[in-house]
């Protein structure tokens, strides 16, 4: 075994030692990926993996560098970009990805991407039509 392989094995053993923890965070991520458009909260996520919500937050942040709710918002916003680029209305996009109000969606979208959903949509459609 090379020194490099030994080091990788050592680091993996120290960082990812507990298979139960891995199963919890990976299972939570899969659940979010499959249900991001529904109403999700920490209580529901922790119940699906049979753990406390505080423990889930710690584990998720340890392995992914962000909380489950931060990941959920990122997932929703990335999906919104796809829908807006296809020409779907802002209101329909907002509700389809799981946000409760168009105003909070617009505020969050602008803070994350620097453009309002309308400006992003116009830019995406203009860029798309330029390529044709």
Q: Report the pLDDT value the prediction gives residue 9, as an integer from 0 to 100.
A: 75
Q: Report the pLDDT value the prediction gives residue 28, as an integer from 0 to 100.
A: 93
Q: Report the pLDDT value the prediction gives residue 128, as an integer from 0 to 100.
A: 62
Q: Report the pLDDT value the prediction gives residue 10, as an integer from 0 to 100.
A: 74
Mean pLDDT of 110-128: 87
Q: Report the pLDDT value the prediction gives residue 5, as an integer from 0 to 100.
A: 78
Residues constituting the chain: 132
Please say if the pLDDT value at position 35 is more than 90.
Answer: yes
| Per-residue model confidence as pLDDT tens digits over 76-106 | 999 999 999 998 999 999 999 999 999 999 9
**Average pLDDT, rounded, for the chain:** 87
Topology of domain 3-131, CATH: Arc Repressor Mutant, subunit A (1.10.10)
- Which comes out higher in pLDDT, residue 48 or 2? 48
Query: Using a CB cutoff of 8 Å and minimum separation of 24, what contacts does 51-60 make?
Result: 51/24, 56/24, 56/25, 56/28, 59/21, 59/24, 59/25, 60/25, 60/28, 60/29
Binned at pLDDT 50, 70 and 90, residue 23 comes out as confident
Please say if the pLDDT value at position 62 is more than 60.
Answer: yes
pTM for the whole structure: 0.79
């Amino acid at each position: 075994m090379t020194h490099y392989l030994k080091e990788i094995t050592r680091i993996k053993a120290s960082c990812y030692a507990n298979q139960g923890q891995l199963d919890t965070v990976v299972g939570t991520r899969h659940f979010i990926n499959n249900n991001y458009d529904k109403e999700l909260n920490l209580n529901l996520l922790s119940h699906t993996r049979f753990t406390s919500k505080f423990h889930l937050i710690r584990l998720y942040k340890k392995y992914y560098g962000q909380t489950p709710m931060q990941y959920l918002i990122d997932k929703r916003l990335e999906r919104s970009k796809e829908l807006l680029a296809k020409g779907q209305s802002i209101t329909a996009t907002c509700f389809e990805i799981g946000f409760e109000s168009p105003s909070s969606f617009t505020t969050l979208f602008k803070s994350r991407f620097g453009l309002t959903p309308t400006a992003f949509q116009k830019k995406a459609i203009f860029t798309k039509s330029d390529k044709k």
